[in-house]
Amino acid sequence: MAERKRSTKKTERETIKVESFKILRAHEFNNGNVSFDMEINGVSLYRLTVVSRKDGSGEFISYPAYENNGKWYNYCYLALSEADSDKIIQAVYDNLDD
């Protein structure tokens, strides 16, 4: 079997068109981390998190991942526009458990 080389160059991805989304569950832990499940365009995604950027420039959605040989790999990933991502993050905060 031939060895495949992976490109380390980041490429721009086309964003998906968000037709609909619904926050199924959102929970803030004692350490301030926020975890949530959502349905987007009819597909359910679980164990997503809202993460603050290290440079303080805002937040982003982190997808479930696993570690293998010191590298992290996402189980799934959706390329969302910044506007859609911001709408989802706001909806997460609006739906936090009491």
Q: What is the mean pLDDT of residues 58-77?
A: 94
pLDDT band of 31, cuts 50, 70, 90: confident
**pLDDT tens-digit map of 15-28:** 999 999 999 999 99
Distance CA 29, CA 91 (A): 17
Q: Please identify which residue in the block is written with the tokens 């969302």.
A: 80
- SS3 breakdown of the chain: % helix, strand, coil, rounded to 5? 15, 40, 50
**pTM of the entire predicted model:** 0.81
